[in-house]
């Protein structure tokens, strides 16, 4: 039984419940609290999903910065791909490139891969240890270091502080 883990799961499921109900009636609050405690204690006393999350003010600040950077990238690259689709000559230059990540924790790697995949133009195809293979719609460089700087670095510096 890991208390930190249980508390994290409790907070997550309680916030989900509150967002779903969108009311602050006493009965809604109490029912949600009971169900969240049951879920956290019965189902998640051993799961390790959030084990590697660091809880410190700095990591919270970087988490907010990460979400901001991620949204900007998402919107920018959505417009980029939309323009490519609309251009009659279809200016794509696709290929699968290799990049390296310095993250060690599994959840950090997962978030990095998901952030890369969610920004259109780059798609994580496979992960082997610290090497990631990424399908890139517009290959500007096939060199590992150059590709790493273009795709990974902008997300990695935040995730490094959050998960190490």
For residue 157, count other CB atoms closer than 10 A to its CB.
Answer: 14
Distance (Å, rounded) from C-alpha 4 to C-alpha 34? 18
Minimum Å gap between C-beta 93 and other proteins is: 6
9 binds other proteins (CB under 8 A): no
Dihedral in degrees, nearest 10, Cα atoms 126, 147, 109, 123: -50
Q: Which region, judged by CB under 8 A, interacts with other proteins, from 36-44, 46-54, 55-63, 120-128?
A: 120-128
Beta carbons of 118 and 102 less than 8 angstroms apart? no
In this complex, which beta carbon is closest to other proteins, that of residue 16 or of residue 145?
Answer: 16
Residues lying near other proteins in the complex (CB under 8 A) are found at 16, 18-22, 74-75, 78, 81-82, 85-86, 90, 92-98, 113-115, 117-121, 123-126, 128, 131, 133, 135, 137, 139, 142
């Amino acid at each position: 039984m890991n208390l930190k883990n249980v508390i994290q799961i409790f907070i997550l499921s309680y916030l989900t419940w509150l967002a779903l109900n969108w009311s602050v009636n006493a009965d809604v609050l109490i029912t949600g609290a009971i169900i969240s405690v049951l879920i956290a204690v019965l189902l998640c006393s051993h799961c390790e999903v959030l084990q590697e999350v660091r809880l410190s003010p700095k990591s919270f600040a970087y988490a907010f910065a990460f979400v901001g950077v991620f949204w900007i990238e998402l919107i920018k690259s959505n417009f980029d791909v939309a323009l490519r689709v609309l251009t009659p000559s279809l200016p794509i230059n696709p290929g699968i490139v290799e990049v390296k990540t310095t993250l060690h924790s599994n959840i950090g790697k997962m978030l990095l891969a998901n952030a890369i995949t969610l920004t259109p133009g780059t798609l994580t195809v496979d992960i082997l240890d610290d090497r990631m293979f990424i399908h890139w719609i517009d290959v500007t460089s096939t060199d590992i270091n150059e590709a790493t700087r273009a795709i990974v670095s902008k997300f990695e510096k935040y995730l490094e502080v959050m998960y190490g």
